[in-house]
Amino acid sequence: MAVDRILKDDASEEKGERARMASFVGAMAIADLVKTTLGPKGMDKILQSTGRGQSVTVTNDGATILKSLHIDNPAAKVLVDISKVQDDEVGDGTTSVVVLAGELLREAEKLVNSKIHPMTIISGYRMAADAARNALLQKVVDNKEDAEKFRSDLMKIAMTTLSSKILSQDKEHFAKLAVDAVMRLKGSTNLEAIQIIKKPGGSLKDSFLDEGFILDKKIGIGQPKRIEDAKILVANTAMDTDKVKIYGARVRVDSMSKVAEIEAAEKQKMREKVQKIIGHGINCFINRQLIYNFPEELFADAGILAIEHADFDGIERLALVTGGEIASTFDNPESVKLGHCKLIEEIMIGEDKLIHFSGCEMGQACTIVLRGASHHVLDEAERSLHDALCVLSQTVNDSRVLLGGGWPEMIMAKDVDELARKTPGKKSLAIEAFSRALLAIPTIIADNAGLDSAELVAQLRAEHHKEECNAGIDVISGSVGDMAALGISEAFKVKQAVLLSATEAAEMILRVDEIISCAPRRREDRM
């Protein structure tokens, strides 16, 4: 008697050829989806949510697009994950990594159809990836010693990163902002110290970098508008100690004078708390929660600037920047670490008043204020700038630089091709396929710009067989150009991450030979 079904009724399984087909098709569909956003002439996508409020996002950042999709295909989910990791790890190259993985699978599909075992393909891909990485390692430039050159490298990398984003029109301006901000960090990759404030109005060109910290709050009534040599207490405490906190408590009194006594006692409690805070010898108090009218009045009388309801992000960053700690009890002032800065004043940006802290303890802090026509533009500008900041902060640590514009892919493809010629057996077919997949990136960059990609890539390949060649695709003039002269550079770390992540993802999907979907849990019929 044959066992018909092991799995439950609604569960499904696909085996062998069909499972592999499903994974390949899903992964390639995802790659084709983000393909058109690649390169300086890449187009944007509008993502509209069907939930409440129908929020609209306009973006060409691969990771943002893929994060917003709800995908059923398991192989496609693997690609979404690698783009997320790429975004967290190095910030840029989120589209390239998905496109490369998709192309590797497209080549693998042809090989599988011509009866080559997936394991053979995988070992070929492994060898090819090693060869490609070594090819890049031989060509990297490292200008860490020469500060001038290194700064110009950073500028080039920032401009290359921004040229495929919404900021491409003012890329020099924004590249300078990003490089200045990252240079202030002095080698730490903690982007917390760089705060980005978005204020609608003006144009993108009006964005600027401000040394110091800007808090998006107003200064209370009757309080000093300007404080020099500020000692700041950053707190997270409830100032409404005047409320009876026991849930459902009732107080019965037999006359109005008793009510007045209770109120007086509550006021006294608040006054004591304020006195304790003032006892720290501060002249600026910043609280995450509300400061009510009465304590605010007491602070104003003592000449202390009190800022209420600074959101959590705000006070954490403030504590980091001013070198203070967040306090919530005030009984022993000597153990509380206060923050310091030279000057606190009120400034205007557009229509809004904000509070500006300058001369902070941590000199690395700065604020980038983005201006723009609408919220959508500002959100996309922030994403683009964040990509640039991530890449730069990684490059400051690992200062190896490559040229861009499809040049690294051609270098890798050339070396991988040579390896294929030397390798005996079926593996050589897989290695050759790897080099074809690498060539897909310059091809797509050219296609997106509406150029004749076959012609250009053939020209590029011929150029690259000469010694010491810097040729890449110059999308602006629509021909093969000298990348070194055009100043198109990329960080080695980004390219390496793209290469290795894409190979590993493709490998993982290639190993699949069965997809089992579980049956959904049934709800019992509750009566």
Q: Which residues are catalytic?
A: 61, 94-95, 387
Task: Report the alpha-carbon distance of residue 131 to residue 412 in Å, rounded.
Answer: 8
Quick one: CA torsion of 367, 368, 371, 375, rounded to 10 degrees?
-90
Indicate the helix (H) or strand (E) that contains 94. Answer: helix 94-113
List all residues 6 or more positions away from 268 whose beta carbon is below 8 Å from its beta carbon.
Answer: none
Strand 471-474 and strand 213-215: the pairing is unpaired
**Do residues 423 and 168 make contact, with C-beta atoms less than 8 angstroms apart?**
no
Tokens 């980038």 sit on residue? 368
Q: In the 3-class helix/strand/coil scheme, how is 230-275 assigned residue by residue?
A: EEEEEECCCCCCCCCCCCCCCCCCCCHHHHHHHHHHHHHHHHHHHH
Is residue 377 a contact partner of residue 203, using CB atoms and an 8 Å limit? Answer: no
| Paired tokens of 50 | 């069907």
Q: What is the CA 273 to chain-centroid distance, rounded?
A: 42
Do 57 and 64 form a contact (C-beta atoms < 8 A)?
A: yes
- The answer to whether the beta carbons of residues 378 and 102 sit under 8 Å apart is no
Residue with tokens 């939930």: 51
Helix 171-184 with 375-397: angle, nearest 10 deg: 50
Unique residue bearing structure tokens 């609209």: 56
Distance (Å, whole) CA 99 – CA 509: 14
Q: At a CB cut-off of 8 Å and minimum separation 6, what does 185 contact?
A: 191, 193, 194, 364, 393, 396
